[in-house]
Amino acid sequence: MTTSPLLFDRALHRARLDRAAPDFAAADFLKARAAQDVVMRLETILRRFPVAVDLGARNGHFFKALEGSDARANIDTLIEADLSGRMLGGRETLRVVADEERLPFGDATLDLVTSTLSLHWTNDLVGALIQIRRALKPDGLFVGAIFGGATLTELRQCLLAAEAELSDGAAMRVSPFADAIDAAGLLQRAGFALPVADVDRVKVRYSHPLSLLQDLRRMGETSVLIDRSRKPLTKKVLFRAMELYVERFAEADGKVPVTFEIVSVTGWAPHDSQQKPLRPGSAKMRLADALGTTEESAGDKAG
């Protein structure tokens, strides 16, 4: 059996989250946006979820968004889980420190799992989704959001260009993210039924790109690549990257844009009651009859 290559240092990621916890609220706007979107999706689903888990809960934005929503009445018990114990501190909700790569929940024990902006740090995203699907009861629901491939594209370009210009080669300084077009396919590979994916592309503007770096630190979103360069980023390279950022991307008012791509996904644990595609040839009406046209073989020439 093949294993996925290790991309991320999970112990370092936990340490970065612990470090970010005290100031996380100062840069949690993307977390709040993603959590609110998940709650809006749940509002359209008329069913009860006796036991729900929020993975990567951080400072509790999903819980907060849920409290002001009609969807709250459909969830009996909500458990907040996070890789960082410090992120979960200071609240009275049901909480558990849990690694998304090694979920502590038994098979078919949960009715709903949500996760906003945390699963993109797993070394084996499909493997993590499989664990979530197994933890769900049949016909249980997963609603999640991860950062997509266009996230931080401006910063990525400028860091690579500056390091290539001033040193003997360029290292990857920004973590890779999954392509949005592959999101529904990831759910299918993990065994989810009825997968759906869509993209929310957010442009955030800063007075200077250094403010972006400060926010990434507060979010706990700085790179933890195992194959990252062990050579520290020098001030000379960093300042050149910031200059390039302003030169290439600054808008008319001097502010610089930052792209964040939030890929939202939903999928259901399989159940016999769910809709299934018809077998080829089993339709009761021909498409040509429904459209009022004449059906022709692919090899026939039009008259």
Give mean pLDDT, residues 246-257: 97
Residue 231, domain CATH: 3.40.50.150
Task: Give me the pLDDT at residue 169, please.
Answer: 64
Report the domain count for the chain: 1
Burial 54-77 (b: 16+ CB within 10 A, else e): bbbbbbbbbbebbeeeebeebbee
pLDDT per residue as tens digits for the range 61-102: 999 999 989 999 999 999 999 999 999 998 889 999 999 999
With CA atoms as reference, report the closest residue to 151 among 261, 248, 258. Answer: 261
Neighbours of 276 (CB within 10 A): 10
Q: What is the pLDDT of residue 100?
A: 97
Cα 187-188-193 angle, rounded to 5 deg: 90
In a domain, 202, yes or no: yes
Higher pLDDT, 148 or 294: 148
pLDDT at 45 over 90: yes
In a domain, 284, yes or no: no
pTM for the model stands at 0.87
Question: Does 276 fall in a domain?
Answer: no
More confident residue, 161 or 172: 161
- 18-33 tens-digit pLDDT: 999 999 999 999 999 9
Q: Has residue 277 been placed in a domain?
A: no
Does a structural domain hold residue 129? yes
Q: Nearest CA to 116 among 154, 59, 71, 74?
A: 59
pLDDT in tens, 99-146: 999 999 999 999 999 999 999 999 999 999 999 999 999 999 999 999
pLDDT bracket for residue 275 (50, 70, 90): confident
* CA-wise closest residue to 155 among 199, 215, 198, 200: 215
Query: Residue 303 domain-assigned?
Result: no
Which residues constitute the domain of residue 144? 10-271
Q: Which amino acid is at 298?
A: A
Residue 226, pLDDT score: 83
- The answer to the question of residue 48 being in a domain is yes
Say how far apart CA 203 and CA 258 lie, in whole Å. 6
In a domain, 288, yes or no: no
